[in-house]
Structure 1
Amino acid sequence: MDLDNIQEPASSPIRDMSDSSNFFFDLSPAKTISPRPARLQPRHRRHSISSATSHKSGGSARHVTRMSSCDEDITAVRRAAFIEGRKNRLAARAVEREEVLARARTGIEGASSKLAELQKSIAAANVAREKMLATVTSACGDQVAKAKAKAAEMREKRLEEVRMMKLALEERLANAAKRREEMRKTKRTSRPSVGSVEEKSPERKVLRREVSEVERRDAARVIQRTWRRSEKRRAAQAFFGLGVDVSAVHELPFEELVYRFQDQKVLKATIRALKATGLVGDEEPPMKQMEACRIFLSSYMILGHPEEILSGQGEREQELVRTTNILLRAFENSVRSPASSVDLLAAWPSYLVAFRSWKAHDSAILVEGMAAQYAELSQIWETVKDSEASVADEYKRSIRNNQLMLLQKIRKLAGEDTRKVVGKAIAEAKKRRKELKKAVEALPKPSPSRTRPESAGSARNSGSARQEFTVPATSIVANYGVNLSNRQLMHELLLDPNFKLEPPEKSPLEKAVETQVKRAFFDSVREGLRNGEEEDWIPGLAKDVRSRLLRLVVPDSPTAQMISGALDLTVIEQQCRTRTFDYQRFCEQVVHMMRRLCAPFRDEMVQGCLVPAAAEDRVEGFVECAKAILEVLDVLLLDHANFHLTIAAPMLLPEAVAYERKRFDEDVKAGRASLESTKKWLQAHAQEATQTAESRDPEGVQHPKSKPTLSPVFAAAMVDVVVPDSTGTLPDLPETFHLDVDRIVEYRQTAHKITVVATLILHSKNLARAGSPQQDWSQLKERLWVILKDGQTTAEHLTSEVQHYIGSASTSSSAADNLVSRVLDGSDTVFKLLRRRLRAYMEAWLTAGLARGDEPGSRSRPSQQLAAAASGMEELAGELKRLGEKVRKLGEVNRDCYGGLYDGILRDRPLSALNVSFLFKRPQFQSRRPCCQITIRSIPRVTLDSDSPW
């Protein structure tokens, strides 16, 4: 059905609105037909009275006719509306289709443009790639072309030399054959007379002229060859006339040989000889000629002094020595005889290749070593930069100068790669330091139990609990031959953060025994070497030296590999079996490696090891040199241990307290240590403090401020350890001081000397004549102090010194002897008084809090107490202060480590047994280090109240 050709009726009640999709129906004809809507007529008729009759009337027939006509009109209107709506929907669908097609075309065009841009970028990338490849290819091509051109030039040069030699030989043979043929054809005649010669001379002149014209080229070649030989001979005479040959360089010392090769005469003569032999061309620039000259002279140094030049006996070194031998043999044969230079021209390139390969490898090792030194200097600066300003400035200046010097040397060898090499060395040094830090972090960390109130608060604020780690079984410095455990090392660092390892002090008996043992050992070595028993002694000495050298370097580093290769025990044993072991070379090689590993200020000591090796007796010189090397190696090991200890100290200190406390706890748990002496020591002083407090409170008020606290109890107990009332024995010391036995013995001896000297000075003042001039008693103090430091001092020495100072007429000898005897045995009254004052002085140091800045002489109450306690010992004020600082430091460390243990000891015992009620207050002095605590497993945990000081 064609919807487009449908036409509406002219009288259609539908009105089309072209601007919208709505249709309007005109209902006016219906109104003219019926006064009311037709749909209402039946309804009204049903409800009317006369509906039945009116339904059957003729009016109803007319009504039906009108209704049917209206229905047809409505149907037509509906049909037209339906058709119009369908047309509109089809039109909308066509518009939508066009939009979809337009969007599709737009998307295809956008994708095409993107694809075109992508293809363009890919093409540009390909062009850039091709350009880069072309650049790389051209650069590599240039290098390859240069190498090929150089090789071709050398090849052509050698071929030309060979060709010229062949031509010369052929010419000589041809001339010889020609002369032989002429002589064979010429008839033998008698010698003509003088007159005939004069008559025939014009003809002979003409014959000579003709010969010179024919053989001019041959004559020129002969003259040139003769001149070259003469020039070569003169160059050889000038070169060897300076004393430069293989036999002479072996006899000259290394330093003198270096000085001689720097002489301009030697350099010029060498360049002339190289030109004469064809190794250097006249057309080459002077720099190239000088470089070739120095490389050639290096061959004599390598062959004459290989131990100073070569760092080992590897494949490169052996190849270099072999090519050097061939080169020098060919050179001497070439310049001393008119023979051909083919062997020399063939040996020179091989030597250059071997020399440059060895130099590159040796330069890499030197650069690596200097870069490592640069990194170590940086680490040293990181360690000392927080020191005092003057010290830090001095270190900074010195480190900066050394680093600049190292950078200059590295730049000469590495060139543009200097920054890269130094950066790599610093990164490796930081990596090793991190590994060391990880190893240190294996130390135990404190747990949150048994912490002080302030420590607990800080732990709550941080919100993180520390872990427990396993401690390394070996000592941190055990690798350097130091017999010091980790626990002792941590304890020494707590007492002195700048602690340095020192050689142990030995008694005269120990020194004598050690001297005898060393003498017997080296006497046996000397006797064995004289009897030809090298295989029994030398490998052992070499193994000991090598093991000590390897302790000074990083394992598996190039330096360690160099040491292992230079001191190969298998090679040394073979040399001993074949009787080819060189004593002098071994000593010089070891000293050379020691100089590379030691600090600059040790160079003179290391170089001194070679002095005995120059002795006429070869065996005696070797034994003395080996003895000196072993002694110096012990010193270098100690230096190296101190260096690593300085680096590790900042990481060890925060963990030292917890580590020492945990180790003591393990000893107690394992039964290796008990707490009997510690309990007796601490509880005795607590009982004494309680009795003193009760005696001061006769009315029994027991005011909290009058109750004793732990701080004075610990101070009194500490003083009793350092300055006992009577001569104490070491077994009576508490177990918590077992690491400080030697230190406490030293403190007791110092306290005893202070008391003795002060007592003798007071008695000397009383014995001096009243009218004598004012004397400087500090001089007497110094002399008495020096005498008491000597272990062989007797009472007679002190008596004579006192009498000499105050005058022999002031007192009798017997009275002075009696006085000194009473002072030394402790029965003198003044001695007892000063000893009590010394104890009071030490107790004031421990309780006054001088660590916060009070100094003797100020007006603070603690300083006044110190001044009162030191009355009568004014001449010994410096010794008193030094001893007080040491005792205070020992007390702080001991209290930091074992304060919780002391608290537990006093609380575990019933307070009624002690007849004391402690009010535990915060101590008057605090440690300046953070208090690190650990979980105590062997001692029952005690719940502390808020007033606990620990």
Structure 2
Amino acid sequence: MGAPHNGNDAEHIAGDVVQDTATHEDNCDMTDEQTDEQSYGPPAHLAARFNRNRANARRKSSAASSRRNSLTSVHSHASSRRGSGLGCQSNHIAQHLRRASIIESRKARLADRAAHADQVRLRAAVAKATPRGSTSVSEERALAARIAKDKYLAKVAAACAEEVARAKRIAEEVKERKLAEETRVRLEMEERHAEVEKRRSEYQRNLQARRARRADSAEKKLAIVEELGDLDEEAVEDQPTLDQETASIRIQRAWRMSRKQRTVKDFLKLELNTATKAGFDEMTALLAEPATISATIALLTQLGLQDSDNAALNTKTFLSAYLMTAHPMTVLSNKTGAQEQDLKSKAAELLANFENTLSRLAAWNDYASGATQLETLSQCYTAYTSAFAAWRMQDSSVLIEGMVASFVELDAIWQTVKDDSRGEVASDFREGIRDNQVMMLSRIRKIAGPDKADFLIKKAIRESRKRRPKKRNAADVRPRGVEPAPSGEVEVSAVQNAADPSVALARIEELPSGSTADVTRKLFTPMPSNRVLTHELAIDKDYRLSDSLETTALREELYRSVCTAMRQGFEEGSGHLWTLSAAQNVRDKLLRMLKPGNSMHTLINNTLDLDSINRQCQAGVFSYDGFFAFMAGIVPKLCAPFRDAEIAILSQQLLDTSDNSLDGMIDKLFKLLRAVDRLSLDYSNFMLLNAAPTLIQEAAGYEARAFAADLDSGKATLERVTRWWQSALHHLNAEADRRDPDGLRLDRPAAGKIYCRALVDLAIEQNSMLAIDEIPETLHLDMHRLQNLRRQSIRITVIGAVLLTAKNLLKRDVRGQWKNEASRLWQLLSSDEYESDTAEPTPAQKAFSIMETAHNMPPATKQQLSGTITRLFGQAAGSRFTDPVLKVMFQRLKTHVTLRLSASTPSERVRAASSASDTLTSCGLGEMVTQVSSIVDTLERVRMVDWAAHTQWYELVATRE
């Protein structure tokens, strides 16, 4: 059995078989042709054996595909053994059968291959058409390779970064070593030069000593000669002598040397150096002594650092370097700005060079420093004096602004209290305000100069008084036809009101607030109650009645509805009711302004007779043109002088007859009603102007009686007052316990201090909304005022935080006041909310644009400041501050207001007001002095009125604790 053949061997064998078969066929043909002639073939059994051996020699056995095992091979062998008579014919048939079998098997094999190839192509097409649900192996490998590549690159980058950092560090170290080496070499060269100078001076001294010894020896020799008598007089006369000029030069040189030596010794006796440990007060006293200043002037002049001009001022500037280096935090007022740091570094450098130069002054160098050292010292001195002058100018400008603001604040206080009718408040404040203003004026003039000081103060006072509401003269606000009360009558009225406050309130009862005859009266005469009126006058003596925005909007809405109702009434035939109502409204208001018996009172009463108008309306003969013409002539005679222009326009509109339609008549009627209502409002304000002193004097008693009546009737309780008082007391006790953890304090907070703390906690809070249950019953009339103070305190804190952040980012002095930016931010926040979903741009963007247009900023600073403003505005719109800057500044504002309200005497209040500018500047709120003073002033007036009216109930609540 041989080795099995593959497909190629089978093809070769098949070809050989076909070739052998053809050869045997040719041989058989040749044998057949030659048989007739002669037969030379071997016997049959030999031929069969020969053919079998030949076939075996060509084929190789195979276990699976051997042709010997086929039927044709068996048949061939069997036929060959049967006899040799078949010969070539049997061989030909066998070969033909084998050939056919091979061809058939090959065809089958090829068909199987074709079918397999078709199946493979079909599977490939199906696999290609089917969407792949997951990543193939090759893609996963590619992804893994990419990830590995990224990791490797990151590792390489990190290694490179570390290498670069190490290289930079090495470079910095090399640079520092080079600088240190250069410094060392320079110091060595200076020491060598000093050593050379020392040796040269030593050599000169030795030379002079040798010359002196020679002179002494010569003199000794001369003396000996004289003693021996060997030297005659001529020889003595030939001895060299000094002339007068040479002697004077030597004497002057010795005198200058002794003077320089004395100057240096005098300064060294002061023991003034950078290593001194003296306290601030002790060192200040030492530097201010005349001996210190004179010794320093002499030494600086000897070194050539200053001349005789302004020697004392320049010397004090130089001596301040010692104080600044020894006590920087005290001198610079804890300021750590760039300017202060630069000044401190230059002061330290100046003193280091000065002490180095001073240590080299000695007799061998004639107490004179080298040219290089002196040049370095001069440069340091110039740099320090320039930086000190810039810092002093900046500090003086801030100081001047603060003192001017304090001066204006005192003037505002005086303008508030100077009109006190009884004179008690004015007398208490006059002396304290005058003394503080004189002191501040002298300081401002000393720093800024007389002319500039007067200009700044006048300008600031003028601007402050412009912001105050202007007062009209009594003649301008008094309606025509209203006679002013005689002075004697006013005095009698004041005496009567002092005995019975109800008499004073009786005049207010005449105001239109009590008249509610019809719809038009309700529409055009909204008046506060007497209690509200007296309370507002007690808080603000210049209080006058006016129309608020809410009242105006409501009035416009009611105006449109009443016009519609009036038009509908005229169309339905009931217009005479509306006419009669309007005439009654106008008549009552005009007659209330006039004194009975007056000619104008009689004319209006007779012309606007209601019975006559009613009869005319029912008869259909009432003339609106005549009514409007009469009112156009009467109204200008009753209005106040400041309304002349407005009433003149109204008169022209009433006399205009071009539009006689129903709508035109109704429009004229309501314009007339509006004008009459304004005249009535002027009359009410004029009555308030006359009755205000008496009402203010009796406001506390009236409010106390009204509150007692509410308590008796059950309309009010002391529940919220008690809770409010206890909360303030708890906070004060907690603060006292923190200051005294051992609990050794024996004092308890007074009632006035508790009230001030409670009032400040109520008025200054992070939540701008004030709920009704938070207001104590005694302060319910001040709810809107307290809510407005909350909004103002939040606005002040936000503006201060924005400005402080911008100054720190721009490396500016935080004490510098950016008043223009603060004013623009105040106007922005007064009109807009902190957050708006519909506004574009947002309030935060508007605030950032204000800061951006005022100061140049790098892109990084712009981005940081914009984000900070957005964050601050977002917290201000909420109910709680989380930003550290906001929390600290809000707490400082609250503490400042509490301290100012806690001042009990007028002198303490004046002192607190005069120092308010410096305090707020140190807190970062220097630009908001005016706004903070307004809050303090409002709370002070509320405190005075409320405490005077409700003292007994506050004391009752305090005794319950």
Q: TM-score normalized by structure 2?
A: 0.44
Of structures 1 and 2, the larger Rg is shown by 2
